[in-house]
Amino acid sequence: VFSSDSSPPPSAPFDHRIVTPKPHQIATFYTINRDEVLGGGRFGQVHKCVENSSGLTLAAKIIKARSQKEKEVVKNEIQVMNQLNHANLIQLYAAFESRHDIILVMEYVDGGELFDRIIDENYNLTELDTVLFIRQICEGLQYMHKMYILHLDLKPENILCVSRATNKIKIIDFGLARRYKPREKLRVNFGTPEFLAPEVINYEFVSFPTDMWSLGVITYMLLSGLSPFLGDDDNETLNNILACQWNFEEEEFLDISEEAKDFITRLLVKSKSWRMSASESLRHPWLSDPSLHYQLHQKVQPIFSNTICVSGVFFQTFQGFS
Ligand code: PIT
């Protein structure tokens, strides 16, 4: 039978908790595996760890925070995570504060970053796989937005796969997340501008549609392996975003459904009030039409496909079809 498995990922192996940072030594209660860095360590250092009393396997994120100001930023992240109880959002278990850092102990998942599936030749991401991933990101976002919380840093690195065998995901990194405040502007470090919404670059008000722009960029990347606004340098990338200059001209889109293209077209809209919301996205045919999903399921799969990365652009090589 055909099924586009829409069941949620497993919940965290503990009930939702309201966490306050404890002034204790984490080493008294947890054994941190310093050798095992999770997720490639892009967000500082996340280690696998075990709670001594229960034997529970968890993930510990060590955040350097010396000043009171740096500590307040991390405490905001804890406050945000305290409000979020959803299977598609990584759950917070405990927190420890010491002089030089705050450690967040979180739900452990073992599937690696979605980012790695975009570039890994061993994963042939089909359009139907992408539907399943994007639907779950949308469900996580719909819940966050219902709770009046913006993520503001959605990108493939911040989406974790639950296991290598299934297409279940959880959203991580609430370091920039915050309660929506009308007329709040956002200052961001321009580390990687590829995912920034026009209103963020322009230092205008951020809102729920700011996350929906990022969802459009992620969808484009999962379907093609290409980054829609990436230019030869950051300046060109920022200009492409501000001009909302992007297209489906690359050959990677030849086999992609019109519904997928329509979905992206309704998210990568410069004016934030015209973008689809998370709820509208979930009702869009690309995510909701079972007969479309059946057609996608029937499609032939390229085999021996390889992905190479040249100066930040992913190229897919085709050697045949099965
Ligand atoms: C895992 C497994 C893994 C990485 C993580 C958790 C990281 C989670 C995380 C959560 C945050 C954040 C940064 C990273 O700011 O490979 O179970 O809130």
**Element holding 170 (H helix, E strand):** strand 169-171
Amino acid identity of 194? E
Ligand 1 centroid to Cα of residue 62, in Å, is 10
| Backbone φ/ψ region at 148: left (φ over 0), alpha (ψ -120 to 50), beta | left
User: In ligand 1, which atom is closest to the CA atom of 38?
Assistant: 16
To 5 degrees, how large is the angle CA 225–CA 198–CA 143? 75
As its CATH architecture, domain 30-107 has 2-Layer Sandwich (3.30)
Provide the pLDDT for residue 185: 83
Ligand 1 binding pocket includes 43 (Cβ within 6 Å): yes
**Residue ranges covered by each domain of the chain:** 30-107, 114-316
Ligand 1 in reach of 175 Cβ (< 6 A): yes
Cβ–Cβ under 8 Å, residues 209 and 198: no
Q: Token match 């009702």: residue?
A: 283
* pLDDT score, position 37: 87
Nearest residue by C-alpha to atom 17 in ligand 1: 108
Rounded to 10 deg, the angle between the 208-224 and 258-265 helix axes is 150
**Class of the domain covering 114-316:** mainly alpha
Phi/psi-derived region of residue 177, left when phi > 0, alpha when psi is between -120 and 50, beta in every other case: beta
Alpha carbon of 24 to ligand 1 centroid (Å): 22
Residue 321: predicted pLDDT? 45
How many angstroms separate the CA atoms of 243 and 259, rounded?
24
Is 153 an annotated catalytic residue? yes
For ligand 1, pick from 75, 90, 171, 173 the residue to mutate: most ligand atoms within 8 Å of CB: 90
107 lines ligand 1 (CB under 6 A): yes
> What is the distance between the alpha carbons of residues 264 and 228, in angstroms, rounded to a whole number?
11
Establish whether domains 30-107 and 114-316 are of one fold. no
- Measured from the CB, is residue 172 less than 6 Å from ligand 1? yes
Tell me, what's the pLDDT at 311? Answer: 62
DSSP symbols for 202-252: TT-B--HHHHHHHHHHHHHHHHHS--TT--SSHHHHHHHHHTT---S-SGG
Per-residue pLDDT of the chain (322 residues; tens, 9 = 90+): 565 778 899 999 999 999 999 999 999 999 999 888 886 555 568 999 999 999 999 999 999 999 999 999 999 999 999 999 999 999 999 999 999 999 999 999 988 888 888 777 667 789 999 999 999 999 999 999 999 999 999 999 899 999 888 889 999 999 999 999 988 887 766 567 999 999 999 999 999 999 999 999 999 999 999 999 999 999 999 999 999 999 999 999 999 999 999 999 999 999 999 999 999 999 999 999 999 999 999 987 665 555 666 666 665 555 444 4
Confidence (pLDDT) at 120: 79
Looking at residue 111, its pLDDT comes to 82
Cα 139 to averaged position of ligand 1 atoms, centre (Å) = 19
pLDDT of residue 313: 65
- Is 61 known as a binding-site position? yes
How many whole angstroms from 129 Cα to the centroid of ligand 1?
A: 22
**Predicted local distance difference test score (pLDDT) of residue 303:** 59
Q: What is the pLDDT of residue 124?
A: 77
Its pTM stands at 0.90
Measured in degrees and rounded to the nearest 5, phi and psi for residue 273 equal -75, -10
The catalytic position among 153, 232, 255, 262 is 153
> Which atom of ligand 1 is nearest the CA belonging to 107?
17
Question: Which two three-digit tokens encode residue 186?
Answer: 């956002």
Mutate to test the pocket of ligand 1, among 33, 42, 46 (most ligand atoms within 8 A of CB): 46
